[in-house]
Amino acid sequence: MKKLLAFICLCIQIVPIMGQSVLRTPHGVKVETKAACVELECFSSSIIRVKKYPLGQAPEKQSLSVTMQPKKVKYKIQEANNQVILTTSELTVLLDIIQNQVRFATKDGKELLAEKPSSTGFTSFNDAGNSTYRIRQTFLLDSDEAIYGLGQHQQGKMNQRNQTLFLQQANTEICIPLVHSIKGYALFWDNYSPTTFTDNAQGMTFDSEVGDLCDYYFVYGGGADKVVAGLRELTGQAPMFPLWTFGFWQSRERYVSQDELVGVVAKYRDLKVPLDGIIQDWRYWGEDHKDWNAVEFRNPKFPDPKKMMEEVHHLNAHAIISVWPSFGPATGIYADLKALNKLMIHETFPQDNGVKVYDTYDPIARDIYWKYMNKNMFSIGMDGWWLDATEPEHSPAKEGDLEFQTYLGSFRKVRNAFPLVSVGGVYDHQRQETSDKRVFILTRSAFAGQQRYAAQAWSGDVVSDWDVLRNQIPAALNVSLTGIPYWNSDIGGFFSGRKFPEGVKDPAFHELYVRWMQFAAFTGMMRSHGTNTPREIFMFGERGYWAFDAQEKMINLRYRLLPYIYSTSWEVTSNGGSLMRALFSDFPEDKKVTDIGDEYMFGKSILVVPVISEVKRRSLYLPEGTQWIDFWTGEKQKGGQEIIREAPIDIIPLYVKAGSIIPAGPSVQFATEKSWDDLQVRIYPGADGEFTLYEDEDDNYNYEKGKYTTVRMTWSDKDRQLTIHPRQGSYDGMLQNRNFRIVVVDNLKGLGLDNESYTVNVEYKGKKLNIKLP
C-alpha cells in the first residue's frame, strides 16, 4: 500500500508525455500494449469503464444494461515508467503497460482492486460463423475481503468468496455478473453469455463463453448505499410501484375459472382479512398445450374476462396475469411471429408440443408480444404482469440452440440478458400506452439494470423446506446488492408435495407456511403462491386456530406499516436506496456482520430476524453502535451482542434501531381504503433520528412531474423533541390537515403497534411544529 501511495505521489509531479501508444480520448485514455488495446473511460468521477480488445480491432458495443452516458469529468492523465495514471476527484486508476494490468485506488492511494497481471484472455472462437473470442479476466482480492452479489443463488451463502458458479439463467437461479465488495466498490462484468465465476487462491475470474471485448465497469462509493446508488446511476433508476402492490397478494397454481378467482377475493372480504392482489396463473388460455400461452382467454371457464376484472375492481382489489415468452403452435401470436421469422428454435416447457420462445431481442417481436397483451389483457383492465419463465425456460438443451441467430447475434452471446430485454419491452410499451397507470411486473429472472423496468423478481419454483426458507434470505440480499431493490418468494415454497404430501392438512406445513409468511411481510411483495395444495388463509381453518390467527396478524402488520414501506420505496426511487438491506450496509464498522445472511434491515429502522426452523426461538446478533428496542415488548438491548429471543408461532423477532421514527397507518382491508389523515408516529428513543413521510397519487406517474409531498420529521434525543418540518410539494387531492398521534416507545410492555400509552396528539397543517415530549 505504501509503495502504491508513493508511486502516485511521484507521478503527480511528472508532466504527461503522450506518445503514439498513449492517446487521449473524449472521456479518458486509450493505450496500446503488446497484448491488447486498453481503454479507460470516465463515466463519472467514481465510475470507470475498462475495455480491452486485441490490437487492430475496435469493436462497437451498445450495452444492454448500461443506460448512463459518460459525463464531463475533470481528470488527469500522466505517463511514466511504462505506467499510465488516470486520476479523478474520487479515484486513481493505474495501467501497467508491460504487465497489462489495471489497478484501482482511492484518491489518497488506498488500493481497492487490481487485475492479476497478464490475466486478460482472448481465445479465438467461432460463434455460429462469427469470428470472436472467449474472454477471461482475473482480479486479485484481499484475503479477507467479503464480496456479495452475482444475483440469486440457492446455496445459502452470503459472502460469495471461494466458490465456482456457472452463471446461466435458470429457474431459481438469477445470474448477474456483478460483485459488490465490502471495501466500497462494485464491479460489473458487462457480458451476457454464459459465464463461469471462480474465486480461489489464484484470484477472482470471470470467464465468458463469447465476447468481442473484455468490458467491465468499476463503481466506487465508499459504502454500500453509495455503491448501489452508483449502480442505479449506471444502469437506471427504479420507478415507483403503485401503493396497492405493497399490500397482501393471494395466488395459486392455479385458479381454474373466473368464478373461483373472484370468489377468493370475495371470501377475503367476507372474512375481513386484508387483500390487495390476486394472480391468475396459466391455462386460462385452455388445456391443450398447443394453445400454450395464447395471451388470450380461450378457456371456456373464463367466458367474460372483462367482467371478471370489473368484479375484482368492484371488490377493491387488483389482478395480474401470467404471461410466458413462449407460445403454442395453435395460437395467433405464434402464427404472427412465425410469419415474420421471429421465433427461436429451442424447445421449452411444455416439451414435445411445438412450443417456441419469441426472439425478444427483436423490437418487432416485442411489438407483437405487447399487441396481444394490450388487446386481450390491458384493455380489459388487467393491472399488471406476471412474466413467468423469463430465463427463458430452456430444457432439454440441444446442440445448436445457442447458435440460433437472434436479432442481436447468437443466443449464446445474449443468453443471460433475455429477462432484461423481455421485461423492458413490456414496460416500454405500457409507458407509451399511458402514464395514468404505473407498470407493475413480477418476473422469475433478472439481469443488471432490470430495476428500471418496474420489475420485481421472485425466487422461482423453490421447494417447501426449512433449509430452502433459510436460503431465501441471503439470496434476496445478494440480489439487492446488485442494484435490484425488489424481491420476493412464494410463501410456503412452490413445491409443497415433496416434503408435505398432505399439504394444507398437515400442521407441519402450517408451521413452515406461517414462518415463511412472517419473512414475506418484510420483503418487496407479500405474496402467497404454490402448487400441490391451496394456500388461501381460509384453507388453514378458522379464526381461533393458531395458523389462521398468526397469518392474519402478519397481514395486518404489513398494512399498518404501509406508510413506512411506501416512504422507503420513495427513498429507493429518489436516492438509489434499498428496501432489504444487508447488515454491513448500515453497520460497516461491525466486522461481525460481514457474513450474516439470516437477518437483515428492512428500511433503515427495522431489524428482521426470520425464524428458520421448527424451534420456537432464535439466536440472533444485534449489530453494535446503537441500542435496539424489541418491537413487540419495548425492551431495550445494547448492540454488539448475540442473544436468544423466544419466538412463539405468532412472533417474528423484530428490533428497532434507537433513534428511529416509524409512521404506522390505520387498519384497512386494502391499501387505499383510508387516507393517512390520522397516523401514529412511533419514536424509538436512545439516539437522534429522522424520517421523511412520502405521499403521492398512488397509481400514476405524476410524481415524475413533481406532484408529491414529503414531510420530514426529526428527533432530538437530548431535548426529547420531535420536529415536524414544513410540508414540501403538492398534488391534487393531498391532505391539507391531519392528525399525528405521537408515541414514545420507552420500555412499555405489550407494544407492537397497538399500545398507544403516552400518546400526544397534534394537528398538522403543513407548517413547522416542535413537540416537546415527556
Q: Please give the Cα distance from 484 to 578 (Å, whole number).
A: 8
* pTM beyond 0.85, yes or no: yes
Matching fold, domains 2-231 and 660-772: yes
What torsion, rounded to 10 degrees, do the Cα atoms 733, 736, 737, 738 define? 50
Residue 1 has pLDDT above 50, yes or no: no
Q: Please give the Cα distance from 683 to 663 (Å, whole number).
A: 9
Which pLDDT score, from 0 to 100, does residue 747 have?
60
User: 518, 585, 513: which is closest to 558 by C-alpha?
Assistant: 518
Give the angle 677-683-685 at the CA atoms, nearest 5°: 170
User: Do 442 and 385 meet the contact criterion of CB atoms below 8 Å apart?
Assistant: yes
pLDDT of 68-89, one tens digit each? 999 999 999 999 889 999 999 9
- DSSP β-ladder status, 654-657 and 627-630: antiparallel
User: Do 640 and 623 meet the contact criterion of CB atoms below 8 Å apart?
Assistant: yes
Residue 126 has pLDDT above 50, yes or no: yes
Q: What is the 3-state secondary structure (H, E, C) of 354-421?
A: CCEEECCCCHHHHHHHHHHHHHHCHHHCCCEEEECCCCCCCCCCCCCCCCCEECCEEHHHHHHHHHHH
Which pLDDT score, from 0 to 100, does residue 3 have?
44
Q: What is the mean pLDDT of residues 667-681?
A: 97
Q: How many helices (H) and strands (E) does the chain have?
A: 13, 47
Which pLDDT score, from 0 to 100, does residue 400 have?
85
Residue 6 has pLDDT above 70, yes or no: no
> What backbone phi and psi angles, to 5 degrees, belong to 141?
-105, 155
Q: Please give the Cα distance from 237 to 740 (Å, whole number).
A: 32
Q: What is the mean pLDDT of residues 528-538?
A: 97
So what's the architecture of 243-575 in CATH?
Alpha-Beta Barrel (3.20)
- DSSP β-ladder status, 636-638 and 689-695: unpaired
Q: Using alpha carbons, list the distances in angstroms from residue 225 to 237, 580, 581, 640.
A: 14, 12, 9, 22
Which pLDDT score, from 0 to 100, does residue 304 have?
98
Q: What residues act catalytically?
A: 388, 391, 461
Q: What is the mean pLDDT of residues 509-520?
A: 98
pLDDT of 156-202, one tens digit each? 999 999 999 999 999 999 999 999 999 999 999 999 999 999 999 99
Q: Using alpha carbons, list the distances in angstroms from residue 347 to 174, 387, 391, 400, 408.
A: 21, 18, 13, 11, 20
pLDDT confidence tier of residue 355, bands split at 50, 70 and 90: very high
Query: Is the bond into 648 cis (omega within 30 degrees of 0)?
Result: no
Which pLDDT score, from 0 to 100, does residue 757 have?
64
pLDDT confidence tier of residue 8, bands split at 50, 70 and 90: very low
User: Do 295 and 377 meet the contact criterion of CB atoms below 8 Å apart?
Assistant: yes
Q: Give the list of residues 6+ apart from residue 468 with CB closer than 8 angstroms, or none.
A: 154, 462, 493
Q: Using alpha carbons, list the distances in angstroms from residue 360 to 33, 405, 406, 446.
A: 38, 12, 8, 14
pLDDT of 718-752, one tens digit each? 999 999 999 999 999 999 999 999 999 986 654 57
pLDDT confidence tier of residue 9, bands split at 50, 70 and 90: very low
**Coil, helix or strand at residue 612:** coil
Q: Give the list of residues 6+ apart from residue 704 with CB closer than 8 angstroms, or none.
A: none
User: 646, 650, 659, 539: which is closest to 606 by C-alpha?
Assistant: 659
Q: Please give the Cα distance from 682 to 753 (Å, whole number).
A: 8
Q: What is the mean pLDDT of residues 637-663?
A: 98
The mean predicted confidence, pLDDT, of the chain is 95
Which pLDDT score, from 0 to 100, does residue 101 have?
96
Q: Give the list of residues 6+ apart from residue 352 with CB closer than 8 angstroms, or none.
A: none
Output the nine-digit C-alpha cell for 594. Answer: 460481514
Q: What is the mean pLDDT of residues 524-535?
A: 98
User: Do 433 and 458 meet the contact criterion of CB atoms below 8 Å apart?
Assistant: no
Cα-atom radius of gyration of the chain, to the nearest Å?
Answer: 27
Which pLDDT score, from 0 to 100, does residue 398 have?
81
pLDDT of 17-45, one tens digit each? 344 489 999 999 999 988 799 999 999 99
Determine the residue type at 590: D
Which pLDDT score, from 0 to 100, does residue 5 have?
44
Long-range contacts of 707-710 (CB under 8 A, 24+ apart): 707/731, 707/732, 708/570, 709/734, 710/570
Residue 206 has pLDDT above 70, yes or no: yes
pLDDT of 578-631, one tens digit each? 999 999 999 999 999 999 999 999 999 999 999 999 999 999 999 999 999 999
Q: Which CATH number fits domain 580-655: 3.40.50.300, 1.10.1200.10, 3.40.309.10, 2.60.40.1180?
A: 2.60.40.1180
Q: Which residue has the cell 430452456?
A: 394
> What backbone phi and psi angles, to 5 degrees, belong to 303?
-70, -25
What is the maximum alpha-carbon separation in the chain?
A: 81
Q: Provide the percentage of residues in the chain whose pLDDT is more than 90.
A: 93
Q: H or E segment at 95?
A: strand 91-96
User: CATH fold of 2-231, please?
Assistant: Immunoglobulin-like (2.60.40)
- 8-state DSSP, 240: P
Q: Where are the domains of the chain?
A: 2-231, 243-575, 580-655, 660-772
Q: Please give the Cα distance from 560 to 556 (Å, whole number).
A: 6
pLDDT of 298-346, one tens digit each? 999 999 999 999 999 999 999 999 999 999 999 999 999 999 999 999 8
Q: Please give the Cα distance from 213 to 62 (Å, whole number).
A: 12
Residue 566: HSE in the Cβ half-sphere, 13 Å Cα cutoff: 29
Which pLDDT score, from 0 to 100, does residue 751 have?
59
Which pLDDT score, from 0 to 100, does residue 760 have?
93
CATH top class, domain 660-772: mainly beta
Q: What is the mean pLDDT of residues 641-654?
A: 98
